[in-house]
Structure 1
Amino acid sequence: MASKFTSDDIVPHQRFTDVKYENNEFLLPIDGYQKVDLVSLEEAMKPIEKYVDRSIQEKVYIAKKRCKNPKDNLTQDESASIQIYTMESTEHEQSLYYNVNKTLRKEDRRQLVPYFPYLKLILTALWKLPAFNGRVWRGVNGDLSKKFEEGDSLVWWGFSSCTRHLNVLESQEFLGKEGTRTLFTIECSNGKLIKDHSYFAHEDEVLLLPGVELRVAGKVRPAPGLTIIELKEVTDGPVVLLKPPFTHDNSQRHIESTGYASEEVQRLVQQLKSSDKEFENGWLSLETANLSLADGKAIVKALETNTNVEKFSIESQNISMECLDYLVDSIKINTRIRCLYFIGKDDDDNDGSYLVPVCTRTLINTLNINKTITRLEMSRTTITDHDIKMITDMLKRNSRIDGLYIYRNPYLTVQSALYVSELLKVTSTITSLSFYGKPNINDECAIPIASALKINSTVDDLIMFHSQISDRGARALGEMLSQNHTLTSLSLNANQITDAGAKALAEGLKRNSTLRFLHVKDNHFTKESTGGKALQAAKSSKLTIFFG
């Protein structure tokens, strides 16, 4: 049962349950706000001060103080515009998000005009964030099942607050686990993960933008009083229900007239068409930011005539999902591509950190058709456990991928390791596996992978460095080494292994004659410590151990 509050309390998290106010109807698109000037958050609040909390400017002050160094290349005002959206007022109906969403749901679009400056600011901010592609949840106390029938199309006009984790909604401060409830599981393509800009970072909130079109994919009642409605975001509708926060200035007219979004893309296209020497090594690293569908079409067209590119790396910050989907779909028939990469930027990069999305369903369709891709790499992406499940299920049937590299993906949990371990038990092709990253890859991930490798007969290279593996994980890997007769290289650099874990690895090495390279530098033991000496004493003459 949900927690009780008095009328004087601030009831938290109500934006996650305001789906009850959605009428699901198709209305006129959200348009016009993009034409106003981008102003400060203080200025954006002035036209709507009479509709919201009288202390709204105080909240503006606090939000901006909390957003002095925002991530994702947002300005202070842009980040604060998201932060203030997530703040609650003492009286729910005075909360900013309540009034914004109430007005977005009205048929009379003229009532949105006072909100235009704020919409311009927050949507400009959200447009800069990478798209989140995966499964999210939201819900409400009560039974809404009669409003949703399988096959129906509907629109949610307000900003839709969701969470990636069902247990968040089932906590007492949200919906609880008892009573009449309706839960929505939503497969979204263009969500925005706002954790780094929210007042409540622990909620791991994914925000669906206003005007999101959804299709009802299913409806079940798994328990008395509980209805789960499955929704899927529609991305190919004929009408854009939320106009982007940009005006048709000179640069935009240039885009429309040429079909390219920037001079940088035009130069790339010309290089591809002329088989420029830059691509003689077979690499195409797509690093241009803010790629649009027009960009994707131009690049794909140029790739049709280029005979050099065999390795395609998508590294574009803020790439549109339409562009990404088009690029990946085009590879179905490009038989020259051998390796496909999705790579974001790390915190260590001088030009900032960002994640890239992965259009998982399109990727799966492409890999099912393309007979030449043998390497798949996903690093610093927005993939979730659900994506990994879909990909590993496909790879169980795909006999061509021999290199699978999944690392530094912040949203993965031990569940992904379990999916990968199940794949390892049945694969007949994968010879090289990378699965690592701090802080989420740990002993609980290493243990099932080590267990699967006891029976795997194809993987000869395992990389699990730069993770949180400690002695428990090392013991599991040591047991694996005592039974595995295929692995030739094991990389465990930069983990949390101590002398005890090193000794456990050594015990496995005593019964292993196939390992040739073991990398263990930057752990909590040295070549001269007891664990290091145990490894040296146990190794075969063919094994080289790299301590640092």
Structure 2
Amino acid sequence: MGAKEGKILGPTLGYSQEPLLPLINACEPLSSIIPDISKHASSALESTPSNPADGLTRDESAAIRLFTMKWADENKSLHTILNDTLKTADRENLKPWHKYLKLFLTALAKIPCLPSDTIWHGVRGNISGEYPSNNLNVKLSNCSSPCSCHVQTNKTDNLVPAEFFPNTTKGSVHIKNLQPYTLYLFDINCSEVMATKTYATRTDVYRPSSPLNIELTLNGQRLRLKWKPPAFPQGPIDEYQVIVDGVQVKPPMKNTELSYEMNKDYVAGITHTISVKACNIDTQNRTLCSDPKDTEISYFRNKTSTSSNIAPMQSISIKQISFMIILLMKILVII
């Protein structure tokens, strides 16, 4: 799917017919696209051992290194420009890349698959908003080796040590059991650095509990469902979804609407089942709703039964009138 065009893109073809060239030669067609590409390719080769692991040649291993290495200007790096090009609909733009892609993908195909695992990549800045609310990750980098750092949550005694890769200065902190839609302060302290870096972030929303005080009544000739907000909203409720006899009402109710009235008159002798869900929409645009079964309620009235809207006081008044008529008749008989 192309991010800019919003449509399905065609396959990347043509590179497989290219010959397998040394890295420097494979990058020559990119000289007008990527500034100093030959300089970066030479640097990747110099940093690559003569006999790489997994049966790769030096040029194949260097092709992977060239794709992953950091550049002074990330917007002009090979991997940024290649990714942007892959997102465009015009596959002709990929032709200058074919020789490099042949070398790069040949190298990737030789690397054996590993079991599922978590891959950590240290970056500068706070990217906590990209993670679920109960699983926040803080990335650390640029710490003098050996690093000894920990993260403190909300100025409490909850100190979580950072884990660093062997022989590197980059690591991560994995903080669990955070509450949804809650503001947190994270202090990053390193023994080798005097200053403390503080990040403030709010966790994402989560699935709310069910609406409360569900009522289903006959209002005139139409059924009306009423409710109150959930006890645990887990965020600012985005919408309410009403389900009538298994069919969701469209569009959803606004978060300020706490009632729904059916658009057709009720017909006696028919059972209607209605429920309502409270929903939040998280930063990944996922709609997280409460369980509709928790609020499910049914309404049924026999064809011969009296209206449920007759109030108790009205019934008492009728009895009083009947008693007065009987008493008046007795008085008239006596007279």
Query: Which TM-score band applies after superposition, normalised by the shorter structure?
Result: 0.3 to 0.5
Give the number of the structure whose residues are more often strand, by fraction. Answer: 2
TM-score, length basis structure 1 = 0.24
TM-score, length basis structure 2 = 0.38
Q: Relative contact order: is structure 1 or structure 2 higher (C-alpha 8 Å, sep ≥ 6)?
A: 2
